[in-house]
């Protein structure tokens, strides 16, 4: 599954983000093996957004769904590193394009 969230991930929309991801995963006809999160549109993230991201990643992991990130901008990646999210997600799961993320997911 490829998912894009077209907004900053902040305190006022973090719950909405979690709800939308859960709905997207629940409504698929096929079982989801990898969740590719296209982060290109996320230019700003705060601590609540980071917590929401970790909650979603953890929930997906508990269901056996891999979490892969595509197109995270440099500034956003720096926030993820400082918050420990980079390490929890795993550097190998970050990709510069959706295409490379899909290739990674298919070859894993």
pLDDT digits (tens, 9 = 90+) for 50-78: 999 999 999 999 999 999 999 999 999 99
pLDDT digits (tens, 9 = 90+) for 27-41: 999 999 999 999 999
Task: Work out the angle between the directed axes of helices 47-62 and 74-83 (0-180°, nearest 10).
Answer: 70
Range of the domain at 101: 2-23+31-107
What mean pLDDT is predicted for residues 19-23? 98
Query: Residues near 19 by Cβ (< 8 Å), separated by ≥ 6?
Result: none
What mean pLDDT is predicted for residues 83-107? 96
Say if CB 73 and CB 106 are below 8 A apart: no
The average confidence (pLDDT) of the chain is 96
The pLDDT of residue 108: 77
The pLDDT of residue 47: 96
The pLDDT of residue 68: 98
**pLDDT above 90 covers what percent of the chain?**
99
Could you tell me the CATH number of the domain that includes residue 102? 3.30.750.24
Q: Structural domain tally of the chain?
A: 1
Q: Does the model's pTM come out above 0.85?
A: yes
Cα–Cα nearest to 1, from 9, 16, 15, 20: 20
Residue 86 has pLDDT above 90, yes or no: yes
């Amino acid at each position: 599954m490829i998912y894009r969230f077209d907004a900053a991930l902040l305190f006022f929309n973090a719950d909405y983000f979690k709800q939308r991801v859960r709905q997207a995963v629940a409504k698929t006809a096929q079982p989801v093996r990898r969740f590719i999160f296209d982060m290109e549109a996320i230019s700003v993230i705060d601590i609540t957004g980071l917590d929401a991201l970790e909650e979603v990643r953890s929930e997906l992991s508990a269901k056996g769904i891999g979490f892969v990130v595509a197109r995270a901008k440099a500034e956003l990646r720096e926030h993820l590193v400082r918050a420990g999210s980079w390490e929890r997600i795993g550097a190998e799961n970050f990709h510069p394009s959706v295409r490379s993320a899909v290739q990674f997911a298919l070859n894993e």
